[in-house]
Amino acid sequence: MLTSEQLIDEYFVENRNRVLEVAAFLDRLDRADESGQSVLDFRLRAFGEALSTLSAPALADPAGSRLNRIQELLSDPTTEPIPALDRKSARGAYDLWSAEARQ
């Protein structure tokens, strides 16, 4: 395994680029969103929470890693199969804010 110094040397530049890609995505959204409605999209709300998690400290328990916490907040928290097929593909985040989810 690499040391922390080696990890920074090896991976900083590509992760610097990833942060810039996220910033560019959010700026692009702002330019396109004259009404300011995109912040209400459940995917963007989950995305915002994920970004907050990135700057939070990691917990000692592996389940409390930043990555696991983000996986959890992007996951469907329900436990039962749905009664009927609604669509073919997943959307990337669960709509925790819909009336249906609040029931």
Partner 1 sequence: MNYIDHHAHMVSRTTDDYEKMALSGCVAVTEPAFWAGWDRSSADGFDDYFRQLTVAEPQRAAAYRMQHYSWLAMNPKEADNRELSKEVLKRIPKFIGCPTVLGIGEIGLNRITRNEVDTFREQVEMAIQYKQLILIHTPHLEDKKKGTRICIEVLRQYPELKPENVLIDHAEEHTLEMILEHGYWAGLTLYPMTKLSAVRAVDIVEVFGPGRICVAGACDWGPSDSLAVPRFIMEMKRRHHAEELIQRVVFDNPVQFLGQSANFKVAPRAREVSPAMA
- The answer to whether 87 contacts partner 1 (rule: CB under 8 A) is yes
Among 24, 20, 2, smallest CA distance to 11 is for: 2
- Nearest distance in Å: CB 40, partner 1: 18
User: In the bound complex, what is the minimum distance in angstroms from residue 3's beta carbon to partner 1?
Assistant: 10
Considering CB under 8 A, how many residues would be counted as binding partner 1? 29
Q: Which helix (H) or strand (E) holds 18?
A: helix 4-32
Classify burial at 41, counting beta carbons within 10 Å of its beta carbon; exposed 0-12, middle 13-18, buried 19 or more. Answer: middle
Measure Cα distances from 15 to 12, 59, 65 in Å.
Answer: 5, 21, 18
Site string for partner 1, 58-77 (x = CB under 8 A): ----xx-x-xx--xx-xxxx
Q: Which stretches of the chain bind partner 1, using CB under 8 A?
A: 1-2, 10, 62-63, 65, 67-68, 71-72, 74-79, 81-88, 90-94
